[in-house]
Chain A
Amino acid sequence: MDDCLLLDAGSGGRASQRLVSQCFLRHFANPLLERLDDAAELAPERGPLAMSTDSYTVTPLFFPGGSIGTLAVHGTVNDVAMLGARPRWLTCAFILEEGLPLETLERVAKDMGDAAKSAGVAIVTGDTKVVPRGACDKIFINTSGVGEIYAHPVPSGHAARPGDAVLVSGSLGDHGLTIMASREDLSFLTDVRSDSAPLADMVHAIITACGEVHTLRDPTRGGLATTLNEIAEQSGVGIQVDEAKLPVHEAVRDGCSFLGLDPLYLANEGKLICILPEDKADAALDAMRASPYGREAARIGTVTEGPAGQVSLRTRIGGSRLLSMLEGAQLPRIC
């Protein structure tokens, strides 16, 4: 077998079949996928269904704490879970660059298979395209996820209410800074690693413990600040956050300080924001902290009547300021 990917592997012929059987079927093994029909037959045990899709492009493909493969599974699984749903099935579409080392593809597929297994989802159908060298950057992955909703009411960004408690499941900015450190070879940032993780079990534990959860969101790109602004806008409420309560690892805080970045705007891939009635906050925190991905969970703020759409931050020294939405990408500063 060749050691790098040829255009033939996207032809739909025998070369494609070989790739599918030798790489994807091996790592994604499950009965639905192995039928290799044009579509997968799903048999939900309960409904309604939640569905989400996302595409993954990241440089480098592998980084401390994860890879494009773990992201492609965790990202979509978490999006589905945020609706109070049990993620069950994933689709997976690859756009691959001609010349990609097969060993690299194999590592990505293995990461995806392992991540899917630990998240309790099956990759049931997919697609592979190979494009000429230069037409894409090594590997692009799209995954779609379907899950069964068990939460009543269904958590939503529109459902935050004044008086609700705002919780976050752990430290902020780890993923975003890790990617930047890996991409730019910033050798002084050795203590950072991505938080990429599946959150469906934690969501299930929270909802089981609390019943009524108003909002669940995973603060991925744009970070905590942008996600809280989205929720404040959608729900027509204000949100007040206490800076001293925000969990940020020291290495992330130091790295951000050096680069002129704000950890509250950096991406997270294994964290969630939970907004729910005040009297359920402690139970939710206990449920989060019992999860391996939520040990540093914290109550960070409160939903207020207004001003609608505005997130304000009570700073460490007791001042107050806006925590506004990110405009474009964060760029490192001059001095």
Chain B
Amino acid sequence: MDETQHDPGARLEAAVQDPELCAGLLRRLETALDDASLRFMEVCGTHTVSIFQSGLRSLLPGSVTHLSGPGCPVCVTHDAEVAAMLDLAGRDGVIFATFGDLLRVPGPGGRSLKHAQAAGARVEIVYSPLDAVRLAAKNPGATVVFAGVGFETTAPTVAASVLAARAQGLKNFSVLSMHKLVPPALRALAADPECRVEAFLLPGHVATVLGLAPFRFLASEHKVPAAVGGFAPADILLALCEMAEMRRDGAPAVVNAYPRAVAAGGNARARALMDEVFAPGDALWRGLGRIPESGLGLRPEFADFDATARFGIALAETPPLPGCRCGAVLRGRITPRECPLFGKACTPASPVGPCMVSTEGSCAAYFKYAAH
């Protein structure tokens, strides 16, 4: 007997992968497009990978152009932030705790945490910020610094780790907060006069926390349709159909095409955690530069857990890497293949820019999944 019959989760999982369902949605998309084109940008690295990994990209109508925006936290981590990580990781007595995919991100001079590790720095991969707190409890003689990188999806768990460290009375745990907020980056993109994006596929994970309200400006101020999408092929296709239909009907809105995971109001508890520990401030985005109120710093009452304050870290803006066009890729101005370094000077083996290094980066996805 088919075991999925008794498991609604498995049944749903199978359904969103179902070739016939996808074929039906593809027909609906083609009908909605009629003869028009759709130039959409997805703003989530998981979408990027899913679109390539599922083979969906090869099935989309030729009139659909797919652009990958600044949705991968690794890709938008600025050179200056990597420099700060390398600085901290190299200090005596510091254990630098990080999620795995930051390890290979090149900073100034091409050095990454992998290089620092090889040179003797104590860099530990953790799977959750709470692992970093445990690391601090187990190593009272060292100071654990956790690299707080990620969007609204990650920030609440990092906030929870700070609260846990405080509750345990730990004095040797701190966070280097490089968190970034998605709506301000979208605002900067949409306001860019060179922005050619006709629809935004909004990040399902971020929307589970924020809900829909912070994205509504896309339709109301910029007249661009947008849909929150899930990550299976059928989820993404459904969002694309919704966006194409809104364009056809001249009725741009921000819709929820992922209602099984996203509540319109988001997750108030996660936002409360984030707001308790962090406060918005300016942030440096790789490729996009400084965006007002687009980052999260620790509130003054948590200064003891703020690595920036404890270690006197100041981020210095650095000039972009020569020839690297990650910024234009992240803004949707060019596709990765239009970058002169793609596949030549810049490959996953020796990435010049972060879009090539991250597993969720658009250049890496082009290189890995699309025939050269």
Chain A residues engaging chain B, CB cutoff 8 angstroms: 184, 186, 259-260, 307, 310, 312-322, 324, 327-328, 331-335
- Bound Cα distance A318, B125 (Å): 36
Q: Are B17 and A317 in contact (CB under 8 A)?
A: yes
A-B contacts, 5 of them at CB < 8 A, read A312-B371, A317-B22, A331-B101, A333-B359, A335-B46
A316 and B59 form a contact (CB under 8 A)? no
Number of residues of chain B lying within 8 A (CB) of chain A: 42
Distance (whole angstroms) from the CB of A247 to the closest CB of chain B: 15
Assess the B233–A317 pair: CB atoms within 8 A: yes
For B104, the chain A residues whose CB sits under 8 A away are 328, 331
Query: For residue B154, which residues in chain A have a CB less than 8 angstroms away from its CB?
Result: 334-335
CA of A313 to CA of B370, assembled, Å: 11
Instruction: Write the chain B residue with the least CB distance to A328.
Output: B104
Q: How far is the CA of A134 from the CA of B179 in the complex (A)?
A: 38
Across the interface, do A335 and B370 meet the contact criterion of CB distance under 8 Å? no
* Contact among B52, B54, B151, B347 with A316 in the assembled complex (CB-CB below 8 Å): B54
Q: Contact: B55 with A335, CB < 8 Å?
A: no
Contact call A333/B101, Cβ cutoff below 8 A? yes
Q: Closest A-chain residue to B348, C-beta based?
A: A327
Does B368 interact with chain A (Cβ within 8 Å)?
yes
Query: Do the beta carbons of A332 and B371 come within 8 Å of each other?
Result: no
The interface residues of chain A lying within 8 Å CB-to-CB of B296 are: none
How far is B100's CA from A269's CA once the two chains are assembled, in angstroms? Answer: 24
User: Nearest-CB distance from B274 to chain A (Å)?
Assistant: 14
- Interface: B205 (CB within 8 A): yes
Instruction: Across the A-B interface, give the 10 residue pairs with the lowest CB-CB distance, nearest first.
Output: A319-B55, A315-B55, A331-B100, A327-B348, A319-B58, A321-B369, A332-B100, A317-B22, A334-B99, A319-B59
**Residue B349 at the chain A interface, CB threshold 8 Å:** yes
Please report the C-alpha to C-alpha distance between residue A177 and residue B73 in the assembled complex, in whole angstroms.
25
In the complex, the answer to whether B59 meets A318 with C-beta atoms within 8 Å is yes
The dominant DSSP class at the A interface is loop
Q: Report the bound CA distance from A321 to B370 in whole Å.
A: 6
From the candidates A260, A314, A324, name the one contacting B359 in the complex (CB within 8 A): A260
Interface residues of B in 37-60 (CB under 8 A from A): 45-46, 52-59
Residues of B within 8 A of A331 (CB): 100-101, 103-104, 125, 359
A166 CB to nearest chain B CB (Å) = 18
Cβ contacts under 8 Å, B370 to chain A: 321-322
Q: Which residues of B contact A335 (CB under 8 A)?
A: 45-46, 73, 150-151, 153-154, 205
Contact flag A317-B127 (CB < 8 Å), given A322-B370, A331-B359, A334-B99: no
Contact yes or no, A310 B101, CB < 8 A: no
Is A334 a contact of B19 with CB atoms below 8 Å? Answer: no
B360: Cβ under 8 A from any A Cβ: yes
In the complex, residue of chain B having the shortest beta-carbon distance to the beta carbon of A319:
B55
Shortest Cβ distance from B151 into A: residue: A335
Alpha-carbon distance between A313 and B369 when the two chains are bound, in angstroms: 9
Contact B55 A318 (CB under 8 A): yes
Question: Does B363 interact with chain A (Cβ within 8 Å)?
Answer: no
A186, A321, A334: the one within 8 Å of B55 (CB): A321
| CB-based contact B149/A334 at 8 Å | yes
A332 to B55, CA, bound (A): 22
Known: A324-B369, A334-B99. A317 touches B54 (CB 8 A): yes
Give every chain A residue within 8 A of B212 (Cβ-Cβ).
none
Contact status A322-B55, CB under 8 Å: no
A314 vs B100: C-alpha distance when bound (angstroms) = 29
Contact B57 A321 (CB under 8 A): yes
B329 at the interface (CB under 8 A from A): no
**A332-B127, A333-B99, A335-B151 in contact; A324/B368 too (CB < 8 A)?**
yes
Q: A316-B54, A319-B56, A319-B59 are in contact. Are A334 and B46 (CB under 8 A)?
A: no
Q: Are B55 and A320 in contact (CB under 8 A)?
A: yes
Residues 70 to 92 of chain B near chain A (Cβ within 8 Å): 73-74
Residue contact B56 to A322, C-beta cutoff 8 Å: no
**B55 and A317 within 8 A (CB):** yes
Q: Which residues of A contact B359 (CB under 8 A)?
A: 260, 331, 333
Which residue in A319, A324, A327 is a CB contact (below 8 Å) of B54? Answer: A319
Smallest CB–CB gap between A310 and chain B, Å? 7
Least CB distance, B95 to chain A, in whole angstroms = 16
Cβ–Cβ < 8 Å partners of A314 in chain B: 55
- Across the interface, A318 reaches (CB within 8 A) one of B19, B205, B368, namely B19
Task: Establish whether residues A186 and B127, one from each chain, have CB atoms under 8 Å apart when the complex forms.
Answer: yes
Instruction: A260-B359, A334-B99 given; name 12 further pairs at CB < 8 Å.
Output: A184-B127, A307-B371, A310-B371, A314-B55, A315-B53, A316-B17, A317-B56, A321-B57, A327-B348, A331-B104, A332-B100, A333-B360
Partner of A322, one of B17, B18, B369: B369
Chain B residues lying within 8 Å of A260, measured Cβ to Cβ, are: 101, 359
Assembled-state Cα–Cα distance A335/B102 (Å): 12
* A265 smallest CB distance to B (angstroms): 11
Chain B contacts with A in 97-126, Cβ cutoff 8 A: 99-104, 125
B17 to chain A, nearest CB (A): 5
Closest to B44 in A: A335
Q: Which residues of A contact B103 (CB under 8 A)?
A: 331
